[in-house]
Amino acid sequence: MHRFAITLLGALTLGSALAQTQPLGSIDLPAGTGAGYHSPNSPFAPLAERADVVPWSVLTAVKTRAEKNRILPHFGLAQLALHQKTQRVQGFMMPLEPGERQKHFLISSVPLTCSFCLPGGPESMVEVKTKTPVKYSMEPVVVEGTFAVLNDDPYGLYYRMVDATSVK
Domain holding 133, by residue range, is 3-26+44-167
For residue 78, pLDDT over 80 is answered with yes
Q: Looking at the domain assignment, is residue 84 inside a domain? A: yes
pLDDT in tens, 102-137: 999 999 988 877 666 666 789 999 999 999 999 998
pLDDT in tens, 133-151: 999 988 899 999 999 999 9
C-beta pairs of 92-99 under 8 Å, 24+ apart in sequence: 92/138, 92/140, 92/141, 93/134, 93/136, 93/137, 93/138, 93/141, 94/7, 94/11, 94/125, 95/136, 96/3, 96/4, 96/7, 96/8, 97/3, 97/4, 99/136
Asked whether residue 86 is domain-assigned, the answer is yes
Q: What is the pLDDT of residue 17?
A: 41
* 81 within some domain: yes
The stretch 57-74 carries a mean pLDDT of 91
Residue 161 lies in a domain: yes
Residue 79: burial class (beta carbons within 10 Å; 0-12, 13-18, 19+): buried
Q: Residue 57 belongs to a domain with what CATH number?
A: 2.40.50
Is there a domain that residue 32 lies in?
no
DSSP state at residue 124: G
| Count of domains forming the chain | 1
Amino acid of residue 113: T
39 within some domain: no
Distance of alpha carbon 92 from the chain centroid = 9
Residue 74 lies in a domain: yes
